[in-house]
Structure formats: structure tokens, C-alpha cells
Amino acid sequence: GAVVSQHPSRVICKSGTSVKIECRSLDFQATTMFWYRQFPKQSLMLMATSNEGSKATYEQGVEKDKFLINHASLTLSTLTVTSAHPEDSSFYICSVTQGNSEAFFGQGTRLTVV
């Protein structure tokens, strides 16, 4: 399956600052990538679909100005959490889809906002 690399794996930032998370598809050209958020002991919740060369598609209830997504190339999508607050602390995971709906995930990024 596709190999997906996410960076950083952990980040701590101060309230009010912005944090950028990178998701790279290392062996597969991905026109679409997906960003998920996961709270402790909960399932993955889709935040947005990242589309190469066009605007991301956000799920209902996800603030697009808060979570900026850029998909500038077929191998890189970035998620920027702007003006971060403690409630934004979470585990963020990206994925690419290959073949018949099979999703392959990055290692995840643990964001802690203090």
C-alpha cells in the first residue's frame, strides 16, 4: 500500500500561535488526501478532503479559517491550525486512498496547545 509520512509527530505550541502539519505521500501521487482528528479513546473524525490544485472540502462543523489546508503538489498536503487554543489539542492524522477505497494513514501528529 501507499506510504504516507506525517511531520511532526509531536508538537507543543502556545495559545494564539499557528502550527503547520505536513502530510507526504512518498510513493504515490495523490490528487486527494484526507485529514482526520481523533480525541483520546474516540474514533477518527474526518475534518476535510484536501484536493490538489483546488480548495479543500470541509466537513460540517469544521472551521475552514481555523484549519487551513493546502495541497500544492501531488505528494504534499499541509494542515495549519491557526490561532491555536487548548481545545484544539488532539491527534491529527492524514491519509491517502489507493485502489478501491483503501486508505493508508500517516503516523499522526499529537498537538498540544498550552
Partner 1 sequence: GQQLNQSPQSMFIQEGEDVSMNCTSSSIFNTWLWYKQDPGEGPVLLIALYKAGELTSNGRLTAQFGITRKDSFLNISASIPSDVGIYFCAGPSNSGGSNYKLTFGKGTLLTVNP
CB of 16 to partner 1, least distance (A): 26
Based on the shown chain and the rule CB under 8 A, indicate whether residue 105 belongs to the binding site for partner 1: yes
Question: Applying CB under 8 A, which of residues 70, 80, 89, 97 lies at the interface with partner 1?
Answer: 97
Helices and strands per DSSP (H, E), number in the chain = 0, 11
3-state secondary structure of 4: strand
User: Hey, which residues between 39 and 78 contact partner 1 (CB under 8 A)?
Assistant: 41-44, 46, 49, 57
Beta bridge partners of 98: 102
Taking CB under 8 A as the binding criterion, the range among 14-22, 66-74, 82-90, 99-107 that sits at the site for partner 1 is 99-107
Half-sphere exposure of 48 (CA within 13 A, CB side): 25
